[in-house]
Amino acid sequence: MPIRVAAGANNESRLLWRHRDGRASLWKLNAAGDGIDDRQFGPFDNGDWMPVSVATFDGNNARLLWRRQSNGEVSVWTVGSDFSWSSVHHGPISG
């Protein structure tokens, strides 16, 4: 199911999809809505980590927000235009 679209530089957008098993797909789209590139991540810990949102920054870079269902821990991934990534974990956060 599609989760969120984020506008980026050069009239490109990012579309984040969440699969039932916890996998995420991040699509890069051009101004016409045609797919330029995509990557799939996960699933992680048997689907306990679920993608929540995507945002763009610094041109064509994206940030993915993940949430661990079992304890509320969150992870923010920085994803480059080439789909390389790094992450920072926070939590667990209750509520």
**Mean pLDDT calculated for residue range 51-69:** 87
Q: Which of 84, 12, 95, 13 is nearest to 2 (CA)?
A: 13
Q: What pLDDT digit, counting tens, does each position of 19-55 carry?
A: 888 889 999 888 888 898 999 998 888 888 889 999 8
> Distance from CA of residue 88 to its chain's centroid?
13
Which has more pLDDT, 37 or 11?
37
Looking at the predicted structure, is the pLDDT value of residue 3 above 80? no
